[in-house]
Amino acid sequence: QQQVKQSPQSLIVQKGGISIINCAYENTAFDYFPWYQQFPGKGPALLIAIRPDVSEKKEGRFTISFNKSAKQFSLHIMDSQPGDSATYFCAAFRGSQGNLIFGKGTKLSVKP
């Protein structure tokens, strides 16, 4: 049972464009939704996160949009840069259990 579904699997964007990655979850008990960024040969690192009582969170060029009723959330990368090329994972966290479940990841390539 896949609790967090992520799309697309891969994404190619021109420099300066907008990258959009979507996720959907099933369990309403999740209470935190982080996005992780992973570069080749490295472990994932937290990029940005949102609670379900907030509809949008922005940090620099990165924005999370959250739709609680639809159980969906998305990551928008504005003015995408070649240095943003990485694999992005959405995740859902259940604080009472300490259990973090990841989506399958999106490999983003930003072309110069």
Contact residues toward another protein (CB under 8 A) are 6, 9, 32-34, 41-46, 49, 89, 91, 93, 95-105
* Min CB(30)–another protein separation in Å: 9
Strand partners, 1: none
Question: Based on CB atoms, which residue is closest to another protein, 69 or 97?
Answer: 97
Where do we find the tokens 């990485």? Answer: 86
Token code pair at residue 93: 């966290």
Question: Based on CB atoms, which residue is closest to another protein, 44 or 77?
Answer: 44
Question: Based on CB atoms, which residue is closest to another protein, 97 or 112?
Answer: 97
Q: How far apart are CA 4 and CA 102, in angstroms?
A: 6
* Min CB(43)–another protein separation in Å: 3
Q: How far apart are CA 49 and CA 84, in angstroms?
A: 17
Question: What is residue 16's three-state secondary structure?
Answer: coil
